[in-house]
Amino acid sequence: MWLPCGCTSKYVASSFARRTLASYLHVSGRSRCNVAAFMPEAAGLEGVSGRAALRELSVSNSESFWAAVARHRLCWSTPFHTVQDCDLSRGKIKWFEGGKLNVSVNCLDRHVHTCPERVALIWERDERGSEMKYTYGELLEMTCRLGNLLRRHGVKRGDCVTIYMPTCPLAVASMLACARIGAAHNVVFAGFSADALAERIRDAQSSTVITVNQGVRGGKVTELKKTVDTAMQSCPTVKQVFVAMRTDNPVTMTARDIAMEEEMLKEDVVCEPAVMNSEDVLFLLYTSGSTGKPKGLVHTQAGYLLYAALTHRYVFSYHDGDVFGCVADIGWITGHSYVVYGPLANGATTVLFESTPIYPDPGRYWDMVERLKINQFYGAPTAIRLLLKYGDQWVNKYDRSTLKTLGSVGEPINTEAWEWYHRVVGDGRCPVVDTWWQTETGGICIAPRPSDPDAEIVPGMAMRPFFGINPVLMDTEGEVLTSNNTSGALCMAQPWPGMARTIHNNHQRFIDTYFQPYPGYFFTGDGAYRSEEGYYQITGRLDDVINVSGHRIGTAEIEDVVNQCPAVAESAVVGYTHSIKGQGVYAFVVLKKGIDVQEADLSRQLNGMVSEKIAKYASPDFIQFAKRLPKTRSGKIMRRVLRKVVESDLEGLGDLSTLDDPAAVQEIIQDINISALYIKEEICRKTAQ
Ligand code: WTA
């Protein structure tokens, strides 16, 4: 791995930064107004007298708001001439046109210029107590060397580089190096299998891949380079694979492979940043939808960076000098926005967490909070629920007095977990922000903060829309629900700079998925409840996407794999409530006629197939073999009915008269009594609480 010792970057980088900044800095100097102390970027806005008025203005006069914020928070080499040009009905979203900038300059050079010795990254390696720190100067040097290396190997502006790496400094530098030379990146979560990786490489049309020899997580070594080698068998267009060394173990190198650190040493520490248009692609990130094919959501330069930076600053009340600890993997959008881009754009010290919440013991997070003096901790409800079960002593052992804000993301946080997080982890003194957002939204859209500093926070509720966010709830007829104390489909009535621009190579799917269900609105795919007070609470997905430990997966993706088994005639996958993972995976499988196999053997085989073709987390918790599946008369599988059955909500089964053969449901219910006692137990426990 790239080590920070003996680095001379301070001098090189800062002189370089000065040169670069001379052309990049363009910051509005206006400063007046009484909200200035809270949000200096809003200082120039007329007639705003408090935070509520500012939020009001950010929606009613969103152009002025975003223009002011964009001028202040980002460094532009050329200022934008048009704040926005959006038409949601056509899925057209453009922000800050005419503006030119470089994202890596915004994340690195400008901080190197002002504080080269500030720590940018703290790499909390899997091995406890072996953390490594990298200053902004060092990260800039790493990024520049890597940018030059990529350029030397033919990577050009507009190319897409796939990054298949664990959370580590070289992964961050790889993302920033792409941004520096104008290439897009496509980070694939290192837990994905070779097939899933290959599919994403092919769809992104990457000819360059960056990986590591091996990953290390929870004390276990994973063979990431070998996985890439397997993926390469079905990716003929990949010309080169850069391989960094996370462990000392050598791996077989082919003619296509390049030893990354070795080659980086030969490169110059200065790398001219590409001048990018606001709407050039910054990255693709694949996520699951309701079909079997993952979609490559596209985020662009200025709007995404601005939104990540602004939400990072205000939702978490991040202040200069704070240590920001988001424990997400860089393979997910949370890692992109709140490990890398948001914190680095704000000049923060950001933590790269490589391990698991329980390695080597359940005190890992809080030991890390004490050691690294973390001020904001941002994690997932699934981990909180897991740690809660281990007891308070693992938390109380460590000094958590540095903590100021606690965040939660990825799935609904149940009240018990919320209370424990607040009372035990935060000693009852840190606001807990339950943040709702998606890969598609680029950054947090609904969260309790910012608000007036002492405004109430209701456990388990995301509550308040962020600046410029205008949520609405829709009824089943597609009408906007105007009253409070009501539930509906969560949509956004206005565009904002952080939203995804398209699905790579498939703009029609983008329109069909997000803009066609409620014309003129962005449809999130989630349902929400708006309370009497006007606060939002997310109630869960309205489509066939489930959320396992905060990881999104389409049930159709799992079914596609299960159906590939020669013994399987058809299958239906649904989610069910799981006390730790949030949702578990329940698969109903119908075998072909005349197949004679042991069900246990076949279950093992199917689980293995899902792990191999997608990822371990997608593998079913339960497989129930059924004679047939409940279907409509037109042959559509009634997943809605199956969902109710696995949740033991037999009263909620609804009208079964449209089923082809209602007896199919009865058969399944009978079998579930035998095979899914565990689920029943959990449901009983939940309802007894
Ligand atoms: C769910 C993760 C309830 C939701 C940032 C959304 C949540 C999906 C919350 C996006 C929350 C995320 N409360 N549900 N605070 N945050 N979700 O794209 O269903 O991996 O649509 O982005 O996670 O998952 P994604």
- Residue whose tokens read 């119908």: 590
Q: Please report the sign of the dihedral spanned by the C-alpha atoms of residue 146, residue 150, residue 152, residue 157.
A: negative
pLDDT above 90 covers a percentage of the chain that reads 81
Q: Look at ligand 1, atom 23, and give the residue with the nearest C-alpha.
A: 410
Centre of ligand 1 from the C-alpha of residue 424, in Å = 24
Question: Does the pLDDT value for residue 343 go beyond 80?
Answer: yes
Indicate if ligand 1 lies below 6 Å from the C-beta of 434.
Answer: yes
- Average of pLDDT values for 383-401? 97
Question: What is the C-alpha separation between 548 and 576, in angstroms, rounded?
Answer: 10
Indicate if ligand 1 lies below 6 Å from the C-beta of 426.
Answer: no
Indicate if ligand 1 lies below 6 Å from the C-beta of 336.
Answer: no
Indicate if ligand 1 lies below 6 Å from the C-beta of 333.
Answer: yes
Centre of ligand 1 from the C-alpha of residue 411, in Å = 5
Instruction: Answer whether 351's CB lies under 8 Å from 379's CB.
Output: no
Q: Look at ligand 1, atom 12, and give the residue with the nearest C-alpha.
A: 410
Q: Which atom of ligand 1 is nearest to the CA of 462?
A: 15
The lowest-confidence range among 13-22, 335-344, 386-395 is: 13-22
pLDDT confidence of 6, banded at 50, 70, 90? very low
Centre of ligand 1 from the C-alpha of residue 225, in Å = 30
- Computed over every residue of the chain, the mean pLDDT equals 91
Pocket test for ligand 1, best of 538, 551, 553, 555 (most atoms within 8 A of CB): 538
Question: Does the pLDDT value for residue 689 go beyond 80?
Answer: no
The predicted pLDDT at position 9 comes to 34
Q: Which atom of ligand 1 is nearest to the CA of 332?
A: 20
Question: What is the C-alpha separation between 176 and 104, in angstroms, rounded?
Answer: 5
Q: Look at ligand 1, atom 6, and give the residue with the nearest C-alpha.
A: 438
Pocket test for ligand 1, best of 499, 526, 544, 545 (most atoms within 8 A of CB): 526
- The string of pLDDT tens digits covering residues 33-43 is 468 889 998 88
Q: Which atom of ligand 1 is nearest to the CA of 538?
A: 3
The predicted pLDDT at position 651 comes to 81
**Cβ neighbours, 10 Å, residue 219:** 12
Question: What is the C-alpha separation between 496 and 485, in angstroms, rounded?
Answer: 26
Tell me which residue of 655, 656, 657, 659 sits closest to 636, measured CA to CA.
659
- Residue whose tokens read 């329940």: 586
- Average of pLDDT values for 521-527? 97
Pocket test for ligand 1, best of 384, 406, 547 (most atoms within 8 A of CB): 547
Determine how β-strand 502-503 pairs with β-strand 522-530: unpaired
Indicate if ligand 1 lies below 6 Å from the C-beta of 548.
Answer: no
Centre of ligand 1 from the C-alpha of residue 42, in Å = 29
Indicate if ligand 1 lies below 6 Å from the C-beta of 174.
Answer: no
Pocket test for ligand 1, best of 552, 555, 581 (most atoms within 8 A of CB): 552
- Average of pLDDT values for 550-577? 93
Centre of ligand 1 from the C-alpha of residue 526, in Å = 8
Centre of ligand 1 from the C-alpha of residue 497, in Å = 19
Indicate if ligand 1 lies below 6 Å from the C-beta of 295.
Answer: no
Residues 6+ apart with CB under 8 A from 462: 434, 435, 436, 446, 447, 448, 536, 537, 538
Centre of ligand 1 from the C-alpha of residue 577, in Å = 16
Question: Does the pLDDT value for residue 24 go beyond 80?
Answer: no
pLDDT confidence of 650, banded at 50, 70, 90? confident
* Interhelix angle 639-646/663-675, nearest 10 degrees: 30
- The string of pLDDT tens digits covering residues 279-294 is 999 999 999 987 888 9
The predicted pLDDT at position 21 comes to 43
Pocket test for ligand 1, best of 436, 529, 541, 617 (most atoms within 8 A of CB): 436
Centre of ligand 1 from the C-alpha of residue 185, in Å = 22
Q: Which atom of ligand 1 is nearest to the CA of 540?
A: 19
The predicted pLDDT at position 15 comes to 38
Assigned token pair, 312:
């990072």
Centre of ligand 1 from the C-alpha of residue 345, in Å = 23
The predicted pLDDT at position 26 comes to 34
Q: Going from the N-terminus, what domains does the chain have, and what CATH number goes with each?
A: 38-87 (no CATH), 88-355+436-530 (3.40.50.12780), 549-687 (3.30.300.30)
- The string of pLDDT tens digits covering residues 100-112 is 999 999 999 999 9
Tell me which residue of 459, 457, 489, 615 sits closest to 551, measured CA to CA.
615
Question: Does the pLDDT value for residue 624 go beyond 90?
Answer: yes
Indicate if ligand 1 lies below 6 Å from the C-beta of 547.
Answer: yes
SS3 content of the chain, % helix, strand, coil (to 5): 35, 25, 40
Indicate if ligand 1 lies below 6 Å from the C-beta of 549.
Answer: no
Assigned token pair, 271:
């790398």
The predicted pLDDT at position 685 comes to 52
Centre of ligand 1 from the C-alpha of residue 381, in Å = 11
Question: Does the pLDDT value for residue 328 go beyond 70?
Answer: yes
- The string of pLDDT tens digits covering residues 263-282 is 999 999 999 999 999 999 99
| Residue 523 host element (H or E) | strand 522-530
Instruction: Answer whether 327's CB lies under 8 Å from 379's CB.
Output: yes
Q: Look at residue 227 and give its three-state secondary structure.
A: helix
Centre of ligand 1 from the C-alpha of residue 460, in Å = 13
pLDDT confidence of 673, banded at 50, 70, 90? low
- Average of pLDDT values for 638-652? 86
Q: Which atom of ligand 1 is nearest to the CA of 541?
A: 19
* Interhelix angle 555-562/599-613, nearest 10 degrees: 120
- The string of pLDDT tens digits covering residues 159-178 is 999 999 999 999 999 999 99
- Average of pLDDT values for 514-531? 97
Indicate if ligand 1 lies below 6 Å from the C-beta of 329.
Answer: no
The predicted pLDDT at position 678 comes to 60
Question: What is the C-alpha separation between 381 and 687, in angstroms, rounded?
Answer: 20
Assigned token pair, 595:
């197949």
Q: Look at ligand 1, atom 7, and give the residue with the nearest C-alpha.
A: 411
Q: Which atom of ligand 1 is nearest to the CA of 334?
A: 5
Centre of ligand 1 from the C-alpha of residue 66, in Å = 25
